[in-house]
C-alpha cells in the first residue's frame, strides 16, 4: 500500500513537473527578453536585430539560447561573482535555463492574450528634460570601409559661468556605429587647435585626446550604460568657457554611416552639490614589476599599487588597456588587511569600456592600498594582436600601442557616505515633472479606485468627472496643490454605468482621461 502510494505520488509529481515545465513566450520568456535584451535589441538601438515581439525573437530562438548559455549576451564584462556594480547586466541561472527550455520545447508562443506588453522604453532621455544639450556641430561621416575609427570632437559649451552638474547622459546618435565615448574638459584651446589641423570635422586619435586637457576623464560611456546621476551632495562641474572633448570609437561598418551624438546635461537645480567627483589613476608609475614593456611572443602580467593618502569614498572605476589586454583585477586592502574586491574583468574587450559605478560608496581609510593587475598577451595566437608577426609593444596612444590605466572616481569621505546608494532610481532634484493626469486604473472601474496626477509647479487645480456631453457629474478636488505626484481616492459606484471623462484643470491647462464605469 505504502509502495503504491509512493509510486502514485512520484507519477503525479512527474506529470506535475512536466506540466509546470512547459515554457512559452507569453508565460515566461517575453518578460525576461523585454527586461534584459530589448533595451538594446529594438529599432534605433545597438542590437543588430530587434526582439520586440514573439515573431522577431522566435526567428532567432536557437541563437538566443546559444548566446545566453555562453553568457555572450547580455554583454557584461565584469565578473558578477567578484563584485557588484551598478546596472549589472547578468541573467540568473534560472533565467538562462528558462530560455534554454523554451527553445528546446520548440519556442512556443503560448497564449497571446497573456503576453506582457512591450515596456515603454525611454527615448531622448532616461531622466527627463535636460537643462542643456551639447551636440556635435556637424554630422560626422564614418567610412564604410570595415575599419574602426577613433575620432575626437571638440564641443564648445559657450557657458559664461561655471555650472554644477547633477547628471550626465551621453546620447549616441547613430547607434549602429557609436561604440564608446570618453569625455574630457578642455580650457587650454589645444583641442580646437588639433581639430583645425586635421581635415574634416574632429581629429583622429586612438585613445585619449593626444594631449593632457584640463580634465582627462570627465565621463566614459559604453553601449547600454545608464545615464550618470550623482547621488546626495555629489556632482560634477562644467567650467565657464570650457569645451567638452568627446573621444569616439566608431565600429567597423560596410556602409558609410553618419553620426551626430549629443550630451544631455542636468544642472544642480536645488544647489545640492557641495562635493565634486574627483578622478585619480593607477598608471605604469605605480608598477611593482615594470617597466611597461611586453616583448613579442610573451604573456605578461603587470601589478601596480597605489596608497590612498587620506580617507575617501570610492564612487567608480574604469580599467583601460588596448587590444592585447586580456584581463583586469582590482582590489583594495584596508589597514588591518581587510580586502575589498573592486572589479574583475576576466576577458577584457576594448569595445566595452567606460566607468563602472559601485552600488554604494566604498569607504577607504587613509593608507589603504589599491592593487591593480592586468595581463597582456603578445603572441600570434591572440586574435586581437594588431601585429603579425608580434612586435614588442610599449606604452602609447596608438592602436598598436598598449596602456595600463585604471581610473577611480572618488570624493573625500564624509560621515554617512557608506549609506549613500548610487542607484539611478534616486533622481529627485533633476526630474522635471510635466503636469499630467495618469490613465485611470482599473478601467473599466467598479467601486474604489485612485486617480493619479502630477504637477510641475504649485497650481490651482480642479479635478472632476464629466459625462460625454461635458456635464460635470462629480467634483473630486479643487484648490491649491503642491508640485509632485498626488493620488485622489474615488468611489466609482456613485456613478451610473457608462463612459465618462476625468478632467484635470491645472491653472488653465486641461488633461483628460477616459473612465468606463461597469
Ligand atoms: C547592452 C546592449 C545589449 C543587450 C542588453 C543585449 N544585447 Fe545582444 N547584442 C548587442 C550587440 C551590440 C550585438 C552585436 C555585436 C556583437 O555580436 O557583439 C548583439 C548581438 C546579439 C546576437 C547576435 C549574435 C551574433 O553572433 O551575431 C544575439 C542572438 C543577441 N545579441 C541576443 C541577445 C539576448 C538574448 C539578450 C538578452 C538576454 C541580449 N542580446 C542583450 C547588444 C546587446
Region 256-262: mean pLDDT is: 95
Burial class (CB in 10 A: 0-12, 13-18, 19+), 189: exposed
Residue 391: pLDDT band (50, 70, 90) is very high
Q: Where along the chain do its domains lie? A: 2-114, 132-275, 278-419, 436-517
The answer to whether 195 and 250 have CB atoms below 8 angstroms apart is no
Q: Using a pLDDT cut of 90, give the percent of the chain over it.
A: 61
The answer to whether 115 and 27 have CB atoms below 8 angstroms apart is no
Q: 132-275 and 436-517 share one CATH topology?
A: no
CATH annotation of 436-517: 2.60.40.2550
Class of domain 132-275 as given by CATH: mainly beta
Residue 60 CA: nearest ligand 1 atom is 29
Region 430-436: mean pLDDT is: 59
> What is the CATH T-level fold of the domain 278-419, as seen in this structure?
Jelly Rolls (2.60.120)
C-alpha cell at 514: 477616459
Helices 61-69, 93-104: crossing angle, 10 deg rounding: 150
The answer to whether 222 and 178 have CB atoms below 8 angstroms apart is no
To test the ligand 1 pocket, which listed residue (48, 64, 252) has its Cβ within 8 A of the most ligand atoms? 48
- pLDDT per residue as tens digits for the range 397-428: 777 889 999 999 999 999 988 888 776 444 44
Residue 15: pLDDT band (50, 70, 90) is very low
Residue 74 CA: nearest ligand 1 atom is 41
To test the ligand 1 pocket, which listed residue (33, 40, 95) has its Cβ within 8 A of the most ligand atoms? 40
User: What distance in Å separates the CA atoms of residue 106 and residue 249, rounded to the nearest whole number?
Assistant: 39
- 220, 225, 265: which is closest to 242 by C-alpha? 265
- pLDDT per residue as tens digits for the range 272-298: 899 999 999 999 999 999 999 999 999
The answer to whether 277 and 235 have CB atoms below 8 angstroms apart is yes
Q: What is the pLDDT of residue 424?
A: 47
- For residue 77, how far is its CA from the centre of ligand 1 (angstroms)? 13
SS3 percent helix, strand, coil of the chain, rounded to 5, is 15, 40, 45
Query: Quick check: 24 pLDDT over 50?
Result: yes
To test the ligand 1 pocket, which listed residue (51, 67, 121) has its Cβ within 8 A of the most ligand atoms? 67
End-to-end CA distance of the chain: 55
Q: Which residues have a Cβ under 8 Å from the Cβ of 467 and sit 6 or more positions away? A: 473, 498, 500, 501
- 476, 485, 475, 480: which is closest to 460 by C-alpha? 480
Residue 20: pLDDT band (50, 70, 90) is low
Atom 42 of ligand 1: nearest residue by CA position: 47
Ligand 1: which residues within 6 Å by Cβ? 36-37, 39-41, 46-48, 60, 63-64, 67-68, 73-75, 89, 91, 223-224
Amino acid at each position: 500500500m505504502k509502495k503504491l502510494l509512493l509510486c502514485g505520488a512520484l507519477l503525479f509529481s512527474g506529470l506535475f513537473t512536466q506540466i509546470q515545465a512547459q515554457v512559452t513566450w507569453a508565460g515566461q520568456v517575453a518578460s525576461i527578453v523585454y527586461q534584459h535584451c530589448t533595451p538594446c535589441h529594438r529599432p534605433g538601438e545597438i542590437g543588430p536585430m530587434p526582439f520586440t515581439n514573439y515573431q522577431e525573437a522566435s526567428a532567432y530562438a536557437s541563437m538566443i539560447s546559444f548566446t545566453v548559455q555562453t553568457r555572450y549576451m547580455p554583454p557584461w564584462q565584469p565578473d558578477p561573482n567578484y563584485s557588484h556594480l551598478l546596472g549589472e547586466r547578468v541573467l540568473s541561472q534560472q533565467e538562462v535555463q528558462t530560455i534554454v527550455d523554451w527553445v528546446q520545447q520548440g519556442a512556443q508562443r503560448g497564449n497571446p492574450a497573456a503576453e506582457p506588453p512591450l515596456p515603454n522604453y525611454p527615448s531622448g532621455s532616461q531622466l527627463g528634460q535636460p537643462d542643456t544639450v551639447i551636440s556635435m556641430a556637424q554630422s560626422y561621416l564614418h567610412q564604410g570601409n570595415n575599419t574602426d575609427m577613433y575620432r575626437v570632437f571638440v564641443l564648445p559649451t559657450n557657458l559664461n559661468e561655471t555650472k554644477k552638474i547633477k547628471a550626465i547622459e551621453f546620447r549616441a546618435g547613430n547607434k549602429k556605429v557609436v561604440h564608446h565615448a570618453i569625455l574630457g574638459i578642455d580650457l587650454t584651446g589645444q583641442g580646437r587647435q588639433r581639430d583645425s589641423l586635421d581635415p574634416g570635422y574632429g581629429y583622429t586619435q586612438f585613445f585619449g585626446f593626444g594631449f593632457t586637457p584640463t580634465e582627462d576623464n570627465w565621463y566614459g560611456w559604453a553601449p547600454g550604460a545608464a545615464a550618470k546621476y550623482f547621488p546626495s551632495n555629489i556632482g560634477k562641474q562644467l567650467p565657464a568657457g570650457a569645451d567638452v572633448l568627446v573621444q569616439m570609437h566608431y565600429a567597423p561598418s560596410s556602409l558609410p554611416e553618419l553620426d551626430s551624438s549629443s550630451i544631455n546635461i542636468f544642472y544642480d537645480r536645488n544647489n545640492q552639490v557641495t562635493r565634486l567627483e574627483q578622478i585619480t589613476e593607477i598608471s605604469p608609475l605605480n608598477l611593482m614589476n615594470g617597466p611597461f614593456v611586453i616583448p613579442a611572443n610573451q604573456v605578461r602580467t603587470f601589478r601596480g599599487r597605489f596608497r590612498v593618502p587620506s580617507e575617501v569614498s570610492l564612487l567608480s572605476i574604469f580599467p583601460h588597456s588596448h587590444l592585447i589586454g586580456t584581463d583586469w583585477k582590482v582590489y583594495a586592502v584596508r589597514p588591518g588587511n581587510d580586502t575589498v574586491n573592486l572589479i574583475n574583468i576576466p576577458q577584457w574587450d576594448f569595445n566595452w569600456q567606460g566607468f563602472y559605478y559601485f552600488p554604494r560608496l566604498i569607504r577607504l581609510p587613509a593608507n589603504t592600498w589599491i592593487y591593480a593587475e592586468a595581463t597582456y598577451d603578445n603572441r600570434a595566437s591572440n586574435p586581437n594582436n594588431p601585429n603579425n608577426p608580434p612586435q614588442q609593444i610599449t606604452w602609447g596612444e596608438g592602436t598598436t600601442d598598449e596602456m595600463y590605466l585604471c581610473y577611480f572616481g572618488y570624493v573625500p569621505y564624509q560621515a554617512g557616505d557608506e549609506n549613500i546608494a548610487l542607484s539611478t532610481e534616486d533622481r529627485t532634484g533633476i526630474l522635471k515633472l510635466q503636469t499630467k493626469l495618469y490613465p485611470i486604473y482599473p478601467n473599466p472601474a467598479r467601486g474604489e479606485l485612485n486617480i493619479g496626477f502630477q504637477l510641475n509647479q504649485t497650481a490651482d487645480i480642479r479635478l472632476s468627472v464629466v459625462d460625454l456631453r461635458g456635464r460635470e457629474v462629480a467634483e473630486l478636488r479643487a484648490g491649491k496643490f503642491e508640485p509632485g505626484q498626488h493620488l485622489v481616492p474615488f468611489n466609482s459606484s456613485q456613478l451610473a454605468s457608462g463612459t465618462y471623462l476625468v478632467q484635470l484643470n491645472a491653472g488653465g491647462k486641461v488633461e483628460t482621461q477616459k473612465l468606463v464605469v461597469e
